[in-house]
Structure 1
Amino acid sequence: MSVSFENSETKRNVLRAFAGESQARNRYTFAAGLAKKNGLEVIEAVFTFTADQERAHAKAFYDYLEKCSGENIAIDGTYPVDLYPTLVEHLRAAQHNEYQEWEHDYTGFAHVAKEEGFPEISHLFSQIARIEQVHGDRFGLFADLLEQDKLFVSEVECQWMCLNCGYLVTSTRPPEICPVCKEGQGYFVRMEMVPYQMAKR
């Protein structure tokens, strides 16, 4: 089956995805503010890092709507409202939402796009679905660490990095105060969770 983009369900799905990614970016930015307020800058960084990737997803979807520029497109959709008092609740909600996009929304949108004759858009939905799985895994990992009171405690010695200045320490827990930049423990993260870490030579 091949249909024009103008009359396709794929057009509406692309707009749904753009709206969803845009809202996720804002939700994560708001959650990052709560994390900072609670002195958990490492959780703030997780949310802001993911929020920026959601912005990139939104842009990728939005670019496919260029031929619709100037239109107002009516769509229906459901979007989560996640206003919780605790960071664990925010992390779990984010994990659920990311898995929803991975397992259901974008997987289904990819199938529709392929059926309607838009293989490039189908591929984009499939690729971003896989990224959303990684996002869900990441949020789930940090939720686990918070729930188990292990965000700053390791059962074995490991290397920790201060996200503010880059100070490294090997211990079962990072210091309460970074000896270099004097920021609190909330900036520390296990080295294996640091983006852009160099492979061991």
Structure 2
Amino acid sequence: MSDKTEAFLHSQTRENLMRAFAGESQARNRYTIAAGVANKAGLAVIQGVFLFTAEQERVHAKQFYSCLEDCAGQTVKVDGTYPVDIYSGVLDYLRAAQHNEYQEWEHDYDHFAKTAMSEGFPLVGKLFENIARVEKTHGDRFGKFADLMEKDQLFFSEAEVTWMCLHCGWTVKATAAPAHCPVCRHPQGYFVRFELAPWS
């Protein structure tokens, strides 16, 4: 076993990677649950936002997990705190997701990156920094859709905008998304402002 591997197996970075893996995995599941709530509320566009982000969280989890290859066959014990986000309203799920993403961006991954750098694992440190930037984007995305819901502008706009049906891709320029798509007949909940697709 190399000195580098030995150092990694006794490092805080090893535990932080497992914490990050657990956190990303849980976020993926929370977002899948939130997507189901959005679907039941007839908000396919919000369901899509959650599922799109959940898939990115899966990729993050995979990247963190792959950094633990030297621990194969071992059990890594970690302590951590994880949110319990169970709500009845879609807006609450969006705001909770926004908060959690900003927590990862501003606090968790910044700290984990600095620890990895100080322990001599610059590639892991850079991974934490890069994924932290993505979490900021996630927080902004959830916040943007939450703001639209709060202002009752998810399907309405003061100025004409282009709306796109997420099911078939039909577009129209109007101040409101149609009640139903004239092509596939899916309801208004499938429409998104074109500039927000795919959830940018």
- Taking structure 2 as the reference length, the TM-score comes to 0.96
1:36-65 residue CA offsets vs partner (Å, 9 max, x unmatched): 011000000000000000000000000011
Of 170, 175, 179, which aligns to 2:178? 175
Of 98, 105, 114, which aligns to 1:111? 114
Equivalent residues in 2 for 1:190-201, closer than 5 Å: 190-195=193-198
* Correspondence for 1:79: 82
Of 133, 146, 155, which aligns to 2:149? 146
Distance in 2 (CA, whole Å) between partners of 1:147 and 1:51 is 23
Distance in 2 (CA, whole Å) between partners of 1:154 and 1:196 is 18
Of 43, 60, 63, which aligns to 1:60? 63
The answer to whether structure 1 residue 133 and structure 2 residue 136 are counterparts is yes
Give the ranges of 4+ consecutive aligned residues of structure 1 lying more than 4 Å apart after TM superposition: none
Distance in 1 (CA, whole Å) between partners of 2:178 and 2:164 is 10
Shift of 1:174: 1.1
Structure 2: unaligned runs, 5 residues or longer: none
Distance in 1 (CA, whole Å) between partners of 2:199 and 2:116 is 34
Residues paired across the two proteins, number: 196
Distance in 1 (CA, whole Å) between partners of 2:151 and 2:194 is 19
Whether the aligned pair in 1 keeps the contact of 2:141 and 2:199 (CA below 8 Å) is no
The answer to whether structure 1 residue 44 and structure 2 residue 47 are counterparts is yes
Shift of 1:119: 0.1
Equivalent residues in 2 for 1:83-102, closer than 5 Å: 83-102=86-105
Distance in 2 (CA, whole Å) between partners of 1:158 and 1:119 is 45
Distance in 2 (CA, whole Å) between partners of 1:86 and 1:36 is 12
Structure 1: unaligned runs, 5 residues or longer: none
Which letter maps to 1:64? C
Whether the aligned pair in 1 keeps the contact of 2:164 and 2:172 (CA below 8 Å) is yes
- Taking structure 1 as the reference length, the TM-score comes to 0.95
The answer to whether structure 1 residue 19 and structure 2 residue 47 are counterparts is no
Distance in 2 (CA, whole Å) between partners of 1:132 and 1:155 is 30
Query: Equivalent residue of 1:161, what SS?
Result: strand
Cα gap change, 1:196/1:148 in structure 2, threshold over 3 Å: closer, same or farther?
A: closer
1:138-175 residue CA offsets vs partner (Å, 9 max, x unmatched): 00010111111110001100100000000000000111
Which letter maps to 2:85? D
Superposed CA RMSD: 1.3
Query: Equivalent residue of 1:156, what SS?
Result: strand
